Amino acid sequence: MGNIKEALKGMSAEERKRLLEDIKQEERQAAKERRDAYEGLRANFMMDVKNKLVPVVEEVKGFREWIEAETDAFREVMRDYGQLRKDEQLSFTLVDGDLKVEVRSNNVKTFDERADMAAERLVEYLKAWVSRSEKGQDDPMYQLAMTLLERNKQGDLDYKSISKLYEMEDRFDDEYKSIMELFRESNVVIKTAINYYFYMKNKNGVWIRVEPSFCRL
């Protein structure tokens, strides 16, 4: 340390300036190298994730398509064999050894084309509303409403989410209520959803749900 101080004392102001610049340059270079190393590690990690994720997604998607086609075909076998209570029956349960498969159908509420009109009107209404709001798009009411208008992967509006929009009617004006009424009028279509459930017996003979879902593993 003493030698450094002595060396600095012997330097001119210009030499000290150059030394300081050299030190700063070295620090910048070291910081760049650390950043490059981090970004390289991040890129490698994300590539590894992608390379493993995409095949899993495709595998699960393929399984879904396969189970739909196979259960439809086996339902016809059951119908021919007299295992269905009525021809239009969609739900059934199969058990073989330690595996059980349940196919369950249920009617779900959905919307017709008027809901698309209502959604467009609501988006325009909300944009006009936030333009007059002090918080703008940061207004929690705006963010909530826009979130409830999000569609699922099939491009459909969610019945439960739209129902929550109804609960906000007293916070807005007659135009909002008119849009909600259009949503209600469009809620006249019932479609059938079919879900698949799988169970395997554990060593104690108890049926345990097996779910091909990352979040359930």
Residue-wise pLDDT for 55-104, tens only, equals 998 999 999 999 999 999 999 999 888 888 887 889 999 999 999 999 99
Q: Provide the total of helices (H) and of strands (E) in the chain, helices listed first.
A: 6, 4
pLDDT, averaged across the chain: 86
List Cα–Cα distances, 140 to 130, 135, 146, 183, 215, in angstroms.
10, 9, 10, 22, 28
Which residues make Cβ contacts (< 8 Å) with residue 113, sequence separation at least 6?
A: 186
pLDDT of residue 205: 92
The answer, yes or no, to whether residue 11 has pLDDT greater than 80, is: no
**Section 10-29 average pLDDT:** 81
pLDDT given at position 165: 87
SS3 state of residue 47: helix
Say yes or no to pLDDT of 192 above 80. Answer: yes
> pLDDT per residue over 44-66, tens digit each?
999 999 999 999 989 999 999 99
Is the predicted pLDDT of residue 2 greater than 60, yes or no? no
Of 93-102, 147-156, 175-184, least confident by mean pLDDT is 147-156
* Weakest mean pLDDT among 19-23, 142-146, 158-162, 211-215: 211-215
Model confidence at 121, in pLDDT bands (50, 70, 90)?
very high
**% of residues, the chain, pLDDT over 90:** 40
pLDDT (0 to 100) of residue 171: 81
Question: What's the pLDDT at 216?
Answer: 66
Contacts of 169 (CB under 8 A, 6+ apart): 176, 177, 180
pLDDT at 10: 67
Model confidence band, residue 150 (pLDDT cutoffs 50, 70, 90)? confident
Residues 6+ apart with CB under 8 A from 180: 118, 165, 166, 169
- How big is the chain, counted in residues? 217
